Chain A
Amino acid sequence: MEHRLKTPLTVDDVRNLCAGDLVWISGTIYTARDKVHALLRTEGRLPVDLNGAVLYHCGPLIRDDLVISAGPTTSSRMARYTKEVVDKGVKAIIGKGGISEASEHLRSQAVYLAYPGGCGALASRHLKVIDVHLAVLGMAEALWVFEAEEFGPLVVAMDSLGRDLYQEARLSAEANLRSRRS
Chain B
Amino acid sequence: MAVLARAETSLPGWVVDRIEEAARRESNPLAESQLEAILENVAIAAQDQIPICQDTGFPVFHLVLGRDASLPFDLREAVADGVRRATDEVPLRPNAVDPLTRINTDDNTGPGMPDLILDLVDGDALRITAFPKGAGSENMSLLAMLNPADDPLEFVLETIVERGGMACPPLFVGVGIGGTFDLAPRLARRALLEMSGSSEAKLERDLLARINDLGIGPMGLGGDTTALGVKILTACCHTASLPVAVNLQCWANRSASATVGDNGWNID
Contacts and interface: CB of A to CB of B under 8 A. Distances in A.
Interface of A: 20, 22, 58-61, 63, 68-71, 73-74, 76, 96-98, 114, 116-125, 138-140, 153, 155, 157, 165-166, 168-170, 172-174, 176-177, 180-181
Interface centre among A69, A73, A125, A165 (most CB of B within 10 A): A69
Interface centre among A121, A165, A168, A181 (most CB of B within 10 A): A121
Contacts of A121: 41-42, 44-45, 48, 50-53
Interface in B119-162: 134-136, 139, 154, 157-158, 160-162
A98 B165 contact: yes
B104 A138 contact: yes
B37 interface: yes
A153 B41 CA distance: 12
Contact of B165 (A120, A155, A170): A170
Closest 4 CB pairs of A and B: A97-B166, A117-B168, A121-B45, A120-B54
Contacts of B91: 61, 63, 68
Interface string B36-71: 011011101100101111111000000000000000
A59 B93 contact: yes
Contacts of A138: 94, 104
A117 B93 contact: no
B136 A117 contact: yes
A59 B54 contact: yes
Given A118-B251, A139-B94, A174-B161, A169 B221 contact: yes
A58 B134 CA distance: 14
Given A116-B218, A170-B162, 14 more contacts: A61-B54, A61-B91, A61-B92, A73-B55, A96-B136, A96-B168, A96-B219, A97-B136, A97-B166, A121-B48, A140-B95, A155-B33, A169-B217, A170-B220
Contacts of B158: 177
Interface in B76-125: 91-95, 104
B49 to A, nearest CB: 10
A58 B225 CA distance: 25
A114 B219 contact: yes
B41 A116 contact: yes
B161 A170 contact: yes
B50 A169 contact: no
A169 B220 contact: yes
10 contacts: A69-B56, A116-B218, A118-B55, A120-B51, A121-B45, A121-B48, A139-B94, A155-B219, A155-B221, A172-B222
B30 interface: yes
B232 interface: no
Contacts of A69: 45, 50-54, 56, 93
A22 B33 contact: yes
A155 to B, nearest CB: 6
A15 to B, nearest CB: 21
A120 B252 CA distance: 11
Nearest to B223: A169
Contact of A118 (B52, B94, B162, B215): B52
Interface in B24-42: 30, 33-34, 37-38, 40-42
A125 B139 contact: no
Contact of B161 (A22, A61, A63, A173): A173
Contact of B51 (A61, A140, A174): A61
B165 A97 contact: yes
B214 to A, nearest CB: 4
A20 B32 CA distance: 13
A140 B108 CA distance: 13
B187 interface: no
A70 B136 contact: no
B55 to A, nearest CB: 7
A120 B166 contact: no
A31 to B, nearest CB: 10
B148 to A, nearest CB: 19
Contact of A139 (B44, B93, B135, B217): B93
